[in-house]
Structure 1
Amino acid sequence: MPAVPEKKQEARRAPARVDHPFKGIALVLLSTIFLGCSDVTSKYLSSSLPSIEITWIRMATFALMFTPVMLPGSPLHAMRTERLGLQLMRGTALLGSSLFFITGLSFLPIAEASATGFVSPLFVTALSIIFLSEKVGMRRWIATAIGLIGVIIIIRPGSSAFHVAAFFPIVSAFCWAAALIMTRMMSGREAVVTTMAYSALTGFAIMSLMVPFVWVTPSWSSIGFGILIGVASTVGQWIVVLAYRYGDASVLAPFSYTQLLWVSILGFFIFGELPDIWTITGAAFIVASGLYIAHRERVRRAQLLVLEERSPNP
């Protein structure tokens, strides 16, 4: 789901976390408002601009907003990395997450797209086994299966209500999960500013190559809405980063599901979309699955902490 470096060498490390969970929860709730507004605006703009062009405007805004972060030091220093391939793949994965989700929004009700987009914890569970050699117990696998059942309930493959575009938010969630896994793989080895730089510039560079083939001259209002998407999504992600300085991911992550509430409310008032019983039921399965996975992660970390405290010092 992006911090400003303090001073030269300090930029190589993330700021220390301060245990203040209620402040972290408040920031996560605030971030969901920004991210929800970004999603709703993306859907609104998709009626007049191609998803590739919307994504390009979003990435261009992200890159422009990030430029002042790089300027106080050396831009070349910010781009210095020991994991170039992994940084480029992570940036591409984040781009894919945005592009596929915005494409899905142009075809699907926003509540449906948002609910299915929240299956990323399920993909993280599977990918962490392959790339991080993590052990996943039976209960987490059951929770993962429940989340997948929720997805099936929402998209209803084989029914007359099924739309092939329902797979776009799912692919978006997979890309997001892949980016999270790569972030973990680089944790402690790469500066936050470096990772953000590659996220911004990789996405902007790729979309700049694609957008000429689908270009539609936007109106001034469309440009304004496009910039709003970029600002809202960037600020939302930045607030998430701030939030995670004050609490554990397992505590804060469940509150990100309130974004479903905001997009459902805005979707009703702006697009006249009311989530049907299938979307509500499926979303309940997905949220329950995500909450349980977050709970098991908290339990696992507590157990690891106990083992570390019991182990003799060398």
Structure 2
Amino acid sequence: MSESRPLLGILYLMGAVFLFTSLDATSKYLTQTFPLPMIVWARYGIHLLLMVFFLAPTMRSSLITTKHPWQQIARGVVLMTTSCFGIAGFSMLPLAEATAVIFLSPLIVVLLARWLLAEKITLGRWLAVAAGFLGVLLIARPGGAVSAKGLLLMVITAFLYAIYQIQTRRLSPHENSLTMLFYGALVGSIGLTIAVPFYWGGPTPNAFQTLQILSLGVLGGMGHWLFILAFRHAKASTLAPFTYAQLIWATLLGWLVYDHLPDGLAIIGIIIIALSSMSIALSERFKKTPAPGTDTAY
């Protein structure tokens, strides 16, 4: 891939992370009324239908052709579980704080890669990991405004998402990116459809709520599509710093939709997490592999 149009790639990426944040804000609102698994089911089911409708006619069997079907399924299960924990966490935490904790995942990838990928951890990376968790402590400090249970859910989400990124790193050199995206949506749809009798219920959605539910798959699907387009026009090392615009979008939407702004210490914690995670991403500029954790959508 040639980095011939990096500005266009950055614009695509900025649009993608805005859509991802809009997805988080919408799911947070819907979980106040409807069962959480139903929200996740709609997110993956509609995403899957969009891929079948728009990509299957041209890609045909190549959309589902994979050399590693069991690894694709395992990755899809981890992604589905990540989504369930993440949306549960978003239902309990403000958008900005919850999004910041998810950005711990690149730091956790560094720790997991030491054992799973035999990658060396330098002193600088150890310091980045330590600083990132210090940022979480500032958000979760005694007397802070966040829910301890919600924070725990988001830390679990970050850990699961780190595992998902490790799985993606292992598969991406051998698999088509759209095929990997398809299997993620397929596994999530099937898994949550099987479990429908155990969670289906709640009030019948009105017209506006129906549009919001349908928007989950559209926001997720379009976000991933813009993300893929971004990487066609710019290198991962160029795009990585701009993924942290998601924290800005989360803060703005949290303020505009939920009338919440982080307090001073929480803002410091969010900035520390962002800088620590960004330092990991920027250090990948000198390596051949893409930066871990640059895709923050689940």
Same fold per TM (> 0.5)? yes
Deviations 1:122-154 (A, max 9, x none): 122122222222222111111111111111211
Distance 1:273 1:159 in 2: 13
From 90, 97, 120, the equivalent of 2:75 is 90
Asked whether the equivalents of residues 51 and 106 of structure 1 are also in contact (C-alpha less than 8 Å), the reply is no
Query: In the alignment, is residue 233 of structure 1 matched against residue 201 of structure 2?
Result: no
Equivalent position of 2:194 in the other structure: 209
| Equivalent position SS for 1:156 | coil
Residues 51-75 of structure 1 show CA distances to partners (whole Å, capped at 9, x for unaligned) of 1111111111111111021233444
SS in 2 for 1:172: helix
Q: What are the residue-to-residue correspondences of 1:2-151 with 2, within 5 Å?
A: 16-68=1-53, 69-75=55-61, 77-151=62-136
Say yes or no: does 1:267 pair with 2:250: no
Between structure 1 and structure 2, the one with the greater Rg is: 1
Segments of structure 1 that go 5 or more residues without pairing to the other structure are 1-15, 303-314
- 1:178 aligned partner, one-letter code: I
Q: What is the deviation of 1:241?
A: 1.3
Instruction: Give 2:247's aligned amino acid.
Output: L
Distance 2:128 2:241 in 1: 14
> Percent of aligned pairs with the same residue?
35
Partners of 2:11 and 2:150 lie apart in 1 by 34
User: How does the TM-score come out when normalised to structure 1?
Assistant: 0.84
In 2: Cα distance, 1:54 partner to 1:175 partner:
19
Structure 1 vs Structure 2 CA RMSD: 2.1
Contact 1:146–1:286, Cα closer than 8 Å, also in 2: yes
Q: Give, in whole Å, the separation in 2 of the partners of 1:252 and 1:139.
A: 21
CA distance in 1, matches of 2:168, 2:265: 34
In 1, Cα distance between equivalents of 2:195 and 2:206: 20
Alpha-carbon shift at residue 188 of structure 1 (Å): 2.8
- Structure 1 CA distance for aligned equivalents of residues 216 and 145 of structure 2: 33
Long gaps (5+) in structure 2: 290-298
Which of 235, 239, 255 is residue 252 of structure 1 equivalent to?
Answer: 239
- Runs of 4 or more above 4 Å deviation: 157-162
Give 1:205 shift.
Answer: 0.6
Name the count of aligned residue pairs: 286
TM-score (norm 2): 0.89
Counterpart Cα distance in 2 of 1:24 and 1:73: 24
One-letter amino acid of the structure 1 residue matched with residue 103 of structure 2:
F
Letter in 1 for 2:224: Q
Structure 1 residues 27-57: Cα deviation after superposition (integer angstroms, max 9, x where no partner): 1111121111111111111111121111111
Deviation string for 1:202-249 (max 9, x for gaps)?
000111122332222433322210111221121112111111122222
Question: Which SS does the other structure have where 2:88 is aligned?
Answer: helix
